[in-house]
Amino acid sequence: MNILAIESSCDETAVAVVRDGRTVLSDCIASQVEIHKIYGGVVPEIASRKHIEAIYPLADQALEQAGLTRSEIDAVAVTYAPGLIGAVLVGVNFAKAAAYALGKPLIPVHHIRGHIAANYLTHPELEPPFLCLVVSGGHTMLVDVEDYTSMRILGGTRDDAAGECFDKIARVLGMPYPGGAALDCMSRGADPNCYSLPRAKVDGNPLDLSFSGLKTAAINLIHNAGQKGESIDVPALCASVSAAVSNALLSRTLLALDQTGRRTLAVAGGVAANSRIREDLSREAERLGLRLCLPELRYCGDNGAMIGAQGYYEFLAGHTADLSLNAYATKSLMGERL
């Protein structure tokens, strides 16, 4: 089954063609990062307009690269939630038009489910159940993936996502948006114990996280040093921040593995590209004899292939939509309105 998959929830317009949920025939991305960089973050109105400009030619490109004609597409999958509402709407409307014109089913896909499914592309033998640590620019949560379309959120951040924490600290350090990758690069080989940063404890659910205190502490440290005319060791600060984020994620992940008894751990989302997090998780997985699945770097950030992968399993579960499908800025992983 060939699925044309559309993703436009933030600042990447992405169209892919995926066969049977596992084989990527094409994966085209038009990134808007260079435009939003000027403003230090995503400008929603600009994002929507750029998606409109990019989506038609990108879909043609995806078909061409896949070597398929329109009539060989069997269904159209699209991110319908969550995301910047104007941006998601562009993808949803394009997908509705494409499904109608082709006379094929329309499959709505939750963006976070797509990130989780990115693992199916890199690890063809991976099947649920497994535990998934989702770490992206807008979301940080531990998900028990019971089946391809049945999942439970075990815990998550109470405030900022891990990516948000990295990006804001990177911005204050003068790194261009989105600074997570630059901060990661800067931290390599530096001393992660140089700066002592807070590790937040959250009352209630022991699997919940909080990153706003860490973000504020690092930013205050930078500002205070600036006011006193003191220099800071930027690579060591980046390494200390990465270690603090990674430690927090690791402790909750180990607890969740313990609670669920799962022996397979997958990681998903843009922050899954972080070298410290990858190293820490790999070391612990080896120590505990767990199977660890990390998506290839190109499938960590937003892409269309992950929507095609999840779209296939949504289709098999009968989760299709008619042309009244709407876009949602927020929606839970199990489809409830928030």
Looking at the Cβ atoms of 257 and 305, the one nearer to Zn ion is: 305
Q: Report the alpha-carbon distance of residue 31 to residue 12 in Å, rounded.
A: 5
Binding interface with ligand KG4 (CB under 6 A): 10, 136-138, 163, 166-167, 178, 180-181, 184, 269-271, 273-274, 301-302
CA distances from 240 to 192, 208, 237, 294 (A): 4, 21, 5, 23
Looking at the Cβ atoms of 119 and 274, the one nearer to ligand KG4 is: 274
The three-class DSSP label of residue 171 is helix
Report, in Å, the least distance between residue 194 CB and ligand KG4: 19
Number of residues forming the site for Zn ion (CB under 5 A): 2
280 binds, among ligand KG4, Zn ion, none (CB under 5 to 8 A by kind): none
Report, in Å, the least distance between residue 246 CB and ligand KG4: 10
From the list 120, 139, 159, the residue with the least C-alpha distance to 264 is 120
Report, in Å, the least distance between residue 289 CB and ligand KG4: 27
Strand partners, 195: none
- Going by the DSSP 8-state scheme, the letter that residue 161 receives in this structure is -
Report, in Å, the least distance between residue 145 CB and Zn ion: 17
Strand order, beta sheet including 106-110: 23-31, 12-19, 2-7, 75-81, 106-110
Looking at the Cβ atoms of 280 and 302, the one nearer to Zn ion is: 302
- Residue whose Cβ sits closest to Zn ion: 302
From the list 149, 137, 158, the residue with the least C-alpha distance to 110 is 149
Can residue 7 be called a binding residue for Zn ion (CB under 5 A)? no
Q: Which stretch binds Zn ion (CB under 5 A): 80-88, 152-160, 295-303, 325-333?
A: 295-303
- Contact string 130-169 vs Zn ion (x = CB under 5 A): ------x---------------------------------
Query: Which DSSP string do the residues of 295-321 spell out, in sequence order?
Result: --GGGTSS-SHHHHHHHHHHHHTT--B
Looking at the Cβ atoms of 99 and 328, the one nearer to ligand KG4 is: 328
Looking at the Cβ atoms of 274 and 320, the one nearer to ligand KG4 is: 274
List the one residue from 302, 308, 309, 328 that touches Zn ion (CB under 5 A): 302
Is the omega angle on the peptide bond into residue 176 within 30 degrees of 0, that is, cis? no
* Cβ(73)–Cβ(292) below 8 Å: no
Name, in order, each residue with C-beta under 8 angstroms of 216's C-beta and a sequence gap of 6 or more: none
Q: Which of 122-133 are b and which e, b meaning 16 or more Cβ less than 10 Å from the residue's Cβ? A: bbeebebebbbb
271 binds, among ligand KG4, Zn ion, none (CB under 5 to 8 A by kind): ligand KG4
Looking at the Cβ atoms of 171 and 319, the one nearer to ligand KG4 is: 171
From the list 86, 72, 91, the residue with the least C-alpha distance to 19 is 72
13 binds, among Zn ion, ligand KG4, none (CB under 5 to 8 A by kind): none
166 binds, among Zn ion, ligand KG4, none (CB under 5 to 8 A by kind): ligand KG4
- Which chain residues interact with Zn ion by CB under 5 A? 136, 302
